[in-house]
Amino acid sequence: LDSGVKLVRNVGRYNIGASSLGELHGLLARLRTEASQKGEPAYAIFLVDRYFKPDSTTGDRLAFRSGDALKFIDTTDEPTTDEIDSLVAALLQEGYTKPVAVVGMGGGITMDTAKAVSNLLTNGGKAAQYQGWDLVKLPGIFKVGIPTISGTGAEATRTCVMTNPASGLKLGMNSDFTVFDHVIMDPELTATVPRDQYFYTGMDAYIHCIEALAGSYRNAIGDAYSRETINLCRQVFLEDDMQTPANRERLMVASYLGGCAIATSYVGLVHPLSAGLSVVLGVHHCVGNCIVMRAMADYYPAAYDEFWQMAERQRVSVPEGICRNLDDATYKALYDASTMHQKPLTNALGENYKAILTLEKVTDLFRKM
């Protein structure tokens, strides 16, 4: 791991609080006016989680104007580089080449899609070209992120996770240019999230931070963000009802701070194993992390106990037994897809992590899930 001081870029501006979605109107009006004054087109692109589609008021709430593009994002599967490329191609073909903003409203899938589309509209080429670190050369289109479910921290980070179907590589565009220019955090938007999903995604914030604090790659700011994220998660998930208005606001803050924490640090063992589940079995990121927690008693003992206490308190069930009876080839594929994540595994277990995570050991961990 790089031992020096990590350079960190934060979100440009943000609004936080109930009804802050209304701030989008003024923000877009300013961007549209600036563009018009320069003689440039004043349309915006809206990428919205398809959950909001049947709600005919979505357009009004989003300051949508005729001439804007509104696309609903399917969340059945996590984003692939091919899907991002098709979306960009469709937008370009419809003439949306130079919008004033790309607004992404939804969960991690939709926000990551918005980040990637924004970068590709100015940088050109294909999504897969930018999977890695600091490969994006130009600032993207002005990016606005509006989370509607809390936990991943995608609203705060400098990446947008995508899977390349050809290579199986699950990696984002890690770049300063991937950070949102403006984030609107309105806890009213998370009222409709189904309970199980609310828990799975919320626990991503908790897991990011227990992994960061247990790692060897640490810094004072990251630690402070992580500690407060964990505090907020305890308040939310050890209370009777995790989804009260006050708890939805707490979790929205935890998600943002957890994203800031992980942007200055690395995850640990949970995320690589969860990435294995995702690449090999198509399990979504957040529920995948929760499944991995079944096997974490020896690695994160205190967090393991607390995690299951929270799940019990919220009466949420985490899928079980999904890797119990797989064939050897599938265990090998899970092993390969997990142990390739060198940075977080070095952070968690040291340089010689491969000596600890043998095929036998990793197979054993997956069998526990």
List the alpha helices (DSSP H) in 124-219.
195-214
Partnered with residue 147 across adjacent β-strands are 106
Contact pick of 61, 250, 285, 294 for ligand NAD (by CB under 6 A): 285
Close Cβ partners of 321 (under 8 Å, ≥ 6 residues apart)? 369
Contact pick of 31, 45, 136, 161 for ligand NAD (by CB under 6 A): 161
Q: Is 204 in the site for Zn ion (CB under 5 A)?
A: yes
DSSP 199-238: HHHHHHHHHHHHHHHHSS---HHHHHHHHHHHHHHHHHHT
Are the beta carbons of 199 and 31 closer than 8 angstroms?
Answer: no
Q: Is 112 in the site for Zn ion (CB under 5 A)?
A: no
Among ligand NAD, Zn ion, none, residue 157 binds (CB under 5-8 Å by kind): ligand NAD
Question: How many residues belong to the chain?
Answer: 369
Close Cβ partners of 309 (under 8 Å, ≥ 6 residues apart)? 238
Binding range to Zn ion, per CB under 5 A, among 130-138, 161-169, 200-208, 217-225 = 200-208
Give the residue among 303, 182, 146, 283 at the shortest CA–CA distance from 237.
303
Q: What's the burial of 109, exposed, middle or buried (CB within 10 Å: 0-12/13-18/19+)? A: buried
Question: Residue 104 or 108: which CB sits closer to Zn ion?
Answer: 108
Q: Is 160 in the site for ligand NAD (CB under 6 A)?
A: yes
Number of residues that bind ligand NAD (CB under 6 A): 31
Question: Residue 108 or 276: which CB sits closer to ligand NAD?
Answer: 108
Which residue's C-beta sits nearest to ligand NAD? 108
Q: What's the burial of 292, exposed, middle or buried (CB within 10 Å: 0-12/13-18/19+)? A: buried
Question: Residue 83 or 204: which CB sits closer to Zn ion?
Answer: 204
Question: Residue 204 or 249: which CB sits closer to Zn ion?
Answer: 204
Binding range to ligand NAD, per CB under 6 A, among 57-65, 103-111, 119-127, 338-346 = 103-111
By the criterion CB under 6 A, which residues form the site for ligand NAD?
49, 51, 75, 78, 106-110, 112, 148-149, 151-154, 157, 159-161, 172, 189-190, 192-193, 197, 201, 204, 284-286
By the criterion CB under 5 A, which residues form the site for Zn ion?
204
